[in-house]
Amino acid sequence: MNNVSHIPSYLSAEHLGPWETFLVQVDRVEPHLSPDLRKLTPILTRPMRALIVNVPIRLDNGEMGHFEGYRVQHNLARGPGKGGIRFHPDVTLAEVMALSAWMTVKNAVVNVPFGGAKGGVRVDPRQLSIAELERLTRRYTSEIHILLGQDKDVPAPDINTNEQTMAWIMDTYSMNEGRTAMSVVTGKPISLGGSLGRKDATGRGVFVATVEAARHISLELSGARVAVQGFGNVGEAAARLFSNAGAKIVAIQDSTGAIVNPAGLDVRAVKAWRHEHGTLQGAPGAESVSTDDFWQMETDVLIAAAMENQITAANAGHIRTRIITEGANGPTTPEADLILQERGITVIPDVLANAGGVTVSYFEWVQDISAFFWTEDEINARLDRIMREAFAAVWDSAQAKGIPLRTAAFVLGCERVLLAHKVRGLYP
């Protein structure tokens, strides 16, 4: 990765991965910004603030467990911090910095009134009991309490966190504040002020963005071959929606392996199998293949809904598909982007493709603050409209400027953020 001009000196070399990717993406935006906004881009190249917290918890065996957590507010120019909390053994400060920066751009691309933030705890949640996970979540929430609030910073689910995690965060924050504060977190259970449609929202946004791209490149989605990498909340919902629309889910890959069926997998049956057996292997109507075979399968659409750094210089040359939709954050490295561009593959970037989740988080926040709840049809209709409008803005700008969709999305998002800085001015 050459031409990276803004690597902050306080980062150690081995943790530069996703943050360095973000910096390269900002570098690619700069030539397309007006001179007055270009002058402000250094603001984006470091987070506004980052908190590292120690998270000691009582384990079930009476011993103490020690974990490290982070909450990074990358930019608050356009509104309160917004972004998920991830529990994963590989979480690092640099990763959370990158994820928070992508939230800044994403929130601006879909024009929801939020800045970008993200949190994480470096933990393997599979090694903890439910009671231990609850204590971990509550202690972490207490440690980052100083940053949180409906008009300060509003977390949400991410990898390995869910509605229950959000309920514990809401309860911990509320008990420490001495009031019930529903709007401090989104992705909550419906019974606690959660929004209808939130659970499927990211997958639904992935689907809507792909439908729009398919229309532009004259790809018929009915009967199209779709491969899904990552079978968590995002990948599963997207697979279900594509399948309902008449597409064939020909391959699914997750951390337990890869399965294929050229005639189309039964998504519900695979989900039930995965739930019961903890693995994709042996799912009904499926043949197991290697990860290499998965990446080399010929498809029309590939949904990358797992983690960062999945599509790299090593596999980008072998992927045979027409559209890659990034359900995950940061699945494609900058080098892979160049390879895919050269090969004419349409990449719908994360900051656009997976923005459906935070869009319905915004609806949840609005509903909680106004204490007035919408129907699922209203939510889905508004989500579809926002996704289609954001897609059109990015697509049209990419065509007009002759640039990839990722750069066009970054230009749109960064312009909105930097314009907010420009009109707010510098203070103190």
Chain residues that interact with ligand GLU, rule: CB under 6 A:
82-84, 156, 158, 186, 329, 354, 357-358, 361
To ligand GLU, the closest distance from the beta carbon of 364 in angstroms equals 8
To ligand GLU, the closest distance from the beta carbon of 108 in angstroms equals 13
Closer residue to ligand GLU in complex, CB, 300/368 = 368
Q: Which of 118, 188, 199, 248 is catalytic?
A: 118
Closer residue to ligand GLU in complex, CB, 84/125 = 84
Reading the block at residue 267, the tokens are 């998504």
Closer residue to ligand GLU in complex, CB, 83/193 = 83
Nearest-angstrom CA–CA distance, 86 and 354: 16
To ligand GLU, the closest distance from the beta carbon of 130 in angstroms equals 22
Closer residue to ligand GLU in complex, CB, 207/294 = 207
To ligand GLU, the closest distance from the beta carbon of 34 in angstroms equals 28
To ligand GLU, the closest distance from the beta carbon of 105 in angstroms equals 11
To ligand GLU, the closest distance from the beta carbon of 84 in angstroms equals 3
Please enumerate in sequence order all residues whose Cβ is within 8 A of that of 261, keeping only pairs 6 or more positions apart, or say none. 250, 251, 285, 286, 287
To ligand GLU, the closest distance from the beta carbon of 41 in angstroms equals 23
Nearest-angstrom CA–CA distance, 196 and 181: 19
- Per-residue HEC secondary structure of the chain comes to CCCCCCCCCCCCHHHCHHHHHHHHHHHHHHHHCCHHHHCCHHHHHCCCEEEEEEEEEECCCCCEEEEEEEEEEEECCCCCEEEEEEEECCCCHHHHHHHHHHHHHHHHHCCCCCEEEEEEEECCHHHCCHHHHHHHHHHHHHHHHHHCECCCEEEEECCCCCHHHHHHHHHHHHHHHCCCCHHHCCCCCHHHCCCCCHHHHHHHHHHHHHHHHHHHCCCCCCCCEEEEECCCHHHHHHHHHHHHCCCEEEEEEECCEEEECCCCCCHHHHHHHHHHHCCCCCCCCCEEECHHHHHHCECCEEEECCCCCCECCCCCCCCECCEEEECCCCCECHHHHHHHHHCCCEEECHHHHCCHHHHHHHHHHHHHHHCCCCCHHHHHHHHHHHHHHHHHHHHHHHHHHCCCHHHHHHHHHHHHHHHHHHHHCCCC
Closer residue to ligand GLU in complex, CB, 156/383 = 156
Closer residue to ligand GLU in complex, CB, 183/321 = 183
Closer residue to ligand GLU in complex, CB, 141/186 = 186
To ligand GLU, the closest distance from the beta carbon of 161 in angstroms equals 9
Closer residue to ligand GLU in complex, CB, 75/329 = 329
Q: What single-letter amino acid sits at 377?
A: D
Picking from 129, 160, 6, the residue whose alpha carbon sits closest to that of residue 61 is: 129
Residue nearest to ligand GLU (CB): 84
Cβ–Cβ under 8 Å, residues 170 and 190: no
- Is residue 118 annotated as part of the catalytic site, yes or no? yes
Residues annotated as catalytic are 118
